[in-house]
């Protein structure tokens, strides 16, 4: 490889990196473990627009690598400065997304009888 080719490849990779940084919104990740330790949930908060959060909720079996996307809520505008968190039920069968203390979404795990 000559010097010009290396410079073109380097410039291309730099441009891809800059585009990725511009198109990726700032976000926060919070992981919540189920009380019985068998599952985990992750709440990811994105800020596509200043002060207006979007939420994604993921779950997985503890010890596995892949997260399953359960909910995508774009632009929550119902209340100013919302405070969101996830909460497991005491038996680890229900996961709630709470915003300002009110459950706005939940997932129930059905067990085999």
Joined together, the tokens standing for residue 4 give: 């010009």
Q: What is the tens place of the pLDDT at every residue in 27-47? A: 889 999 999 999 999 999 988
State the pLDDT confidence band at 84, using cuts at 50, 70 and 90.
very high
Residue 110 is predicted with a pLDDT of: 57
Selection from 100, 14, 10, 111 nearest residue 53 by Cα: 100
Query: 10 Å Cβ neighbour count for 31?
Result: 13
Decide which of 48 and 63 is more confident.
Answer: 63
Residues 6 or more apart whose Cβ sits within 8 Å of residue 69:
56, 57, 58
Residues 6 or more apart whose Cβ sits within 8 Å of residue 56:
43, 44, 46, 69, 71, 72, 73
């Amino acid at each position: 490889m000559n010097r010009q080719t290396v410079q073109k490849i380097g410039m291309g990779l730099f441009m891809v990196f800059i585009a990725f940084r511009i198109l990726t919104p700032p976000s926060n990740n919070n992981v919540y473990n189920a009380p019985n330790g068998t599952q985990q949930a992750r709440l990811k908060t994105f800020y596509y627009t200043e002060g207006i959060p979007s939420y994604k909720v993921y779950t997985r079996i503890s010890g596995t690598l892949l997260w399953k996307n359960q909910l995508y809520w774009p632009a929550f505008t119902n209340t100013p400065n919302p405070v969101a968190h996830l909460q497991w039920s005491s038996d680890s069968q229900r996961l709630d997304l709470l915003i300002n203390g009110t459950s706005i979404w939940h997932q129930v795990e059905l067990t085999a009888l």
